[in-house]
Amino acid sequence: MPDLFPEPYRIKMVEPIRITDRQYRCKAIAEAGFNTFLLRSEDVYIDFLTDSGTNAMSDSQWAGMMRGDEAYAGSVNFEHLVAAVQDVYGYRFVVPTHQGRAAEHIMSQLLVKPGDLVPGNMYFTTTKLHQEKAGGRFRDVIIDEAHDPQSSHEFKGNICLDKLQAAIDEVGAERIPYISLEGCVNMAGGQPFSMANLESLRRLCDQHGIPIMLDATRVCENAMFIKLREPGFADRSIKAIVNMIGSLTEGCTMSAKKDHLVNIGGFLAMNDQEFHTRAMAMVVEYEGLHTYGGMAGRDMEAVARGIYEAVQENHLRHRLDQTRYLGEKLRAAGVPIVEPIGSHAVFLDARRFLPHIPQSQFPAQALAAALYVESGVRAMERGIVSAGRNPRTGEHNKPKLELVRLTIPRRVYTQTHLDVVAEAVEKLFVRRHDIKGLEMIYEPRHLRFFQARFKPLQ
């Protein structure tokens, strides 16, 4: 494989993983209701379920854990966290939370009013749920190419300004509390937005007085794509690019469990003082005091150090190359994947992988379950199950993208592990016609993909 950026780290501690046989895995997936979220981690060989909280921390982060100031109030680690966010992102205020969705909850409750519309560059499950729980409606204003897995557009995370303008004309700017802008859009396949798009979005929002709130979960990976692909950014540091994104937005929610290279943590950041005061009042009700949110002092220290490691260019070059390596192997074998290869995961296109299974029989869910049985590799559905139901009609939302996400944890797996995953998918692709659809037999009300249960159709 040409031009692969090697691991910019060496391994100092290892965790054994277990290889099981097919018979064992058939039983395990049946017990898990054909939902990979319900498998026991011990029954998984290579865990590509998610990149969330599954990162390997550095020696510096572990050393920082020993410097945890566990005082109830005024922890020095909180000061480090605030200083790191101010330095790298440029936001003035930080409210710590235990993970991203807690920040989304606080932001949605404080900014979204019943009847409001929140336009965004494709939905994310928890983000949309909190907007809806606050009485708002989500409107997808991402460019059309994002819904086409075969489009090779380099910035499929871009917002379509015409769609946004139409939404403003329809409901009025006063009914739009903010634009929700996600970096490396997860549900689109880890696709970045461009700086040019963000600058145009900023201009449009300024005309209408609408704030932009960033979902910064994977914004460092987004910044690396900007550096690699967008004219004028090749010589800028990742930190400078992230800082520029921060300067063009009013604040962010952050799941530090991804780009910030920790196992738990998050925050809400903003420039507006009144918003900050209200968020501090709310965080004490749901998370903890405003100087720790839902985190221990040691967790905040790990996040503070992770913020700086996340903007190291060598780390990001290797990270994107790992994903590209896996994607290019699969593409070369003729396996249908989402193009271009994104940041944190390779997404299998289940519609083309399993054309004989209609969307009503949950093809991506069936494919993720079959991959586990084939190989012990755990992946995740990102299709009709994840999309849930329309809260007003109760109908299934039917996304165009019906995907299985092979998500690569940061600094955890080697190139040989990637080879094993690629070979498993390739083998499954050869005998794809044997895979059958599923019927859903249990469905929780919200975020059903986590706990829904299925049985195979005959």
Ligand X SMILES: Cc1ncc(COP(=O)(O)O)c(C=O)c1O
Active site residues: 72, 124-125, 215, 258, 382, 449
- CB-wise, 119 or 266, nearer to ligand X? 266
Judged by CB, which is closer to ligand X: 197, or 222? 222
Q: Does 47 engage in binding with ligand X (CB under 6 A)?
A: no
How far apart CA 3 and CA 33 sit, in angstroms, is: 42
**410 counts as binding ligand X under rule CB under 6 A:** no
Phi-psi region of 32 (alpha: psi -120 to 50; beta: other; left: phi over 0): alpha
Q: Which stretch binds ligand X (CB under 6 A): 97-105, 317-325, 357-365, 438-446?
A: 97-105
Q: How far is the CB of 211 from ligand X (least distance, A)?
A: 18
Euclidean distance between CA atoms 377 and 422, whole angstroms: 10
In DSSP terms, 265 is beta-bridged to none
Q: CA nearest 320: which of 423, 225, 215, 425?
A: 225
Q: Which of 34, 47, 68, 101 binds ligand X (CB under 6 A)?
A: 101
**Cα distance between residue 18 and residue 11, in whole Å:** 19
Which class for 22: exposed (0-12), middle (13-18), buried (19 or more C-beta within 10 A)?
exposed
DSSP state of 398: -
157 binds ligand X (CB under 6 A): no
Minimum Å gap between C-beta 456 and ligand X is: 28
Rule CB under 6 A: is residue 386 a binding residue for ligand X?
A: no
191 forms beta bridges with: 185
Closest contact distance (angstroms) between CB of 355 and ligand X is 28
Query: Strands 403-407 and 380-382, how do they pair?
Result: antiparallel
Binding status of residue 257 toward ligand X by CB under 6 A:
yes
Query: Whole-number minimum distance, CB 255 to ligand X, in Å?
Result: 3
Work out whether 35 is an interface residue with ligand X (CB under 6 A).
no
From first CA to last CA, the distance across the chain in angstroms is: 41
Residue 261 CA to residue 40 CA, distance in Å, equals: 23
What is the total count of residues that contact ligand X (CB under 6 A)? Answer: 14
User: Which residue, among 72, 73, 91, has the nearest Cα to 82 in the 3D structure?
Assistant: 91
Q: CA distances (Å), 271 to each of 86, 90, 101, 179, in order?
A: 10, 9, 20, 16
Asked if 53 contacts 301 with a C-beta cutoff of 8 angstroms, the reply is no
| Contact (Cβ atoms closer than 8 angstroms) between residue 230 and residue 195 | yes
Site string for ligand X, 209-228 (x = CB under 6 A): ------x-x-----------
| Shortest Å, Cβ 427 to ligand X | 29
55 or 127: CB nearest ligand X: 127
| CB-CB contact of 248 with 202 (8 Å) | yes
Environment class of 154 (CB within 10 Å of its CB; exposed 0-12, middle 13-18, buried 19+): middle
Cβ neighbours of residue 25 under 8 Å, at least 6 residues apart? 43, 372, 373, 376
186 is a site residue for ligand X (CB under 6 A):
yes
Closer of 343 and 375 to ligand X (Cβ): 343
Smallest distance, Å, CB 101 to ligand X? 3
Q: Does 128 bind ligand X (CB under 6 A)?
A: no
Contact stretch for ligand X (CB under 6 A) within 24-32, 66-74, 124-132, 171-179: 124-132
Residue 126 makes contact with ligand X by CB under 6 A: yes
CB of 262 to ligand X, least distance (A): 10
- Structure tokens, 161: 């300004």
Choices 98-106, 171-179, 274-282, 421-429; region in contact with ligand X by CB under 6 A:
98-106
**CB-wise, 217 or 291, nearer to ligand X?**
217
258-287 residues near ligand X, rule: CB under 6 A: 266
- For residues 55 and 186, which CB has a smaller minimum distance to ligand X in the complex? 186
Residue among 217 and 361 whose Cβ is closer to ligand X: 217
54 part of the interface to ligand X, by CB under 6 A = no
Q: Shortest gap between Cβ of 216 and ligand X (angstroms)?
A: 9
Q: In this complex, which beta carbon is closest to ligand X, that of residue 214 or of residue 367?
A: 214
Binding site for ligand X (CB under 6 A): 52, 99-101, 124, 126-127, 182, 186, 215, 217, 255, 257, 266
